[in-house]
Amino acid sequence: MVNQQFTFAVHILTALAFANATMDSQKLAASVNTNPVVIRRLLLALRRAGLVATQTGKHGGTKLCKKPAEISLLDIYDAIQPRPVIAINERKPLAKCPVSCTMREIMSQVSAGAEKAVREHLRAITLQKLLRKVQRAR
Amino acid sequence: MVNQQFTFAVHILTALAFANATMDSQKLAASVNTNPVVIRRLLLALRRAGLVATQTGKHGGTKLCKKPAEISLLDIYDAIQPRPVIAINERKPLAKCPVSCTMREIMSQVSAGAEKAVREHLRAITLQKLLRKVQRAR
DNA sequence: CTGAACGTAACAGAAATGATTACAGTTCCG
DNA sequence: CGGAACTGTAATCATTTCTGTTACGTTCAG
């Protein structure tokens, strides 16, 4: 199975937007169907990105820092810092092979372009939109 | 590091285009800097997609089936069938949670959109373009 | 102070990836 | 024909990545 951190993070934020209140990692974990520690690890990244704020201690938990309309999936993507969409071969090229020597540069460009395309896509989706989908589906 | 099959495959096909002749898995492996068996596994997928043809036996090897201008990176991407750009959470949703119950549908759409964006990007790049970059860099 | 929550380190298990070995099948060519 | 030089493919191993889990210290409300 591949990296589900981004999906988990989107899920968490959508849940917080839907609840419009602070939630503890236990409840979030139940909604995502995973372990609270996994949630807390993700919350660390989301907190660093300024998307959420969390209270420690009794009655602690996490809440959104911004309005759902002000959070795009790109913000979440950047907070999580997933691996590149297209991996490139980082090995030592074969010196005598022109193709081998040029591939890293070529694939860097291809990879950057793919990354950009995904980012543009995610930039256009706000948490608000997802929230409305949840509300409509209810 | 993640799945490098796509990069490897692009490298292989670029090398074949550059050589404009049949190459054996040994030479291809040297250019990519990996093992011949890894190359042969990828060639299987590329062959199935009709991009290359290979000869067994002595003096065997693989050559392109189409002109570089007729092969796009999307063709290669489809031949390799990489995992989705954005993984979605396939677990059982928490029945009583509207967010949990809607997330799979929501993320499917997000994931499909990202996939589409990447595909459009790759569709616009032909092997011919990469080949020219190699030739220019020489 | 106690209970409930978070922060975080540490470790375990599973899955994915790539490298390797091994061996059978194919083809060329002397 | 028979060997050399290839490919095809299965099996296995090591490494890395991802996730889950346990454990324990810290924080804070009441």
Both tokens assigned to A133: 């989908």
* Closest C-alpha to B77, from B41, B126, B21, B34: B126
Q: Kindly report the nearest CA distance between residue A95 and chain B, in angstroms.
A: 9
Structure-block tokens of residue B3: 């799945």
The dihedrals phi and psi of A45, each to the nearest 5 degrees, come to: -65, -40
Share of chain B above pLDDT 70, in %: 98
CB atoms within 10 A of CB B73: 26
Question: Residue A18 corresponds to which tokens in the numbers above?
Answer: 């839907």
Report the pLDDT value the prediction gives residue A137, as an integer from 0 to 100: 86
At A63 the three-state DSSP class reads strand
Q: CA–C1' span, A54 to C10, in Å? A: 24
Amino acid identity, residue A15? Answer: A
| pLDDT, tens digit, 9 for 90 and up, residues B49-66 | 999 999 999 999 999 999
pLDDT tens digits, A60-78: 999 999 999 999 999 999 9
Strand C and A137 CB separated by under 7 Å = no
The dihedral through the CA atoms of A133, A48, A115, A123 has a sign that is positive
Per-residue pLDDT band for A1 (boundaries 50, 70, 90) equals very low
Structure tokens at A49: 């990105």
A71, A99, A119, A132: which to substitute to probe chain B, counting the most B Cβ within 10 Å?
Answer: A99
Q: Is residue A45 within 8 Å of residue A9, measured between CB atoms?
A: yes
Query: A134–B85: do the CB atoms touch at under 8 Å?
Result: no
Task: Provide the CA A43 to C1' C6 distance, Å, integer.
Answer: 11
Question: What is the reported pTM?
Answer: 0.94
HSE-CB at A24 with a 13 A cutoff on CA atoms is 6
Instruction: Summarize pLDDT for A2-49 with one digit per residue, the tens.
Output: 689 999 999 999 999 999 999 999 999 999 999 999 999 999 999 999
Residues in chain A: 138
Chain B touched by A110 (CB under 8 Å) = yes
Q: Which residue type is seen at B98?
A: P
Which residue has its C-alpha nearest to nucleotide C27's C1'? B57
Are A51 and A65 a contacting pair, CB within 8 Å?
A: yes
- Dmax (CA) for chain A in angstroms is 65
Q: What is the mean pLDDT of chain B?
A: 96
Q: Which residues pair with B54 in a beta bridge?
A: B62
Task: Show the tokens assigned to B39.
Answer: 């190359």
Confidence of residue B26 (pLDDT cuts 50, 70, 90): very high
What one-character DSSP code corresponds to residue A97?
Answer: -
- B110 → closest Cβ in A32, A83, A125: A125
Using a CB-CB cut-off of 8 Å, the residues of chain B touching A90 are 1
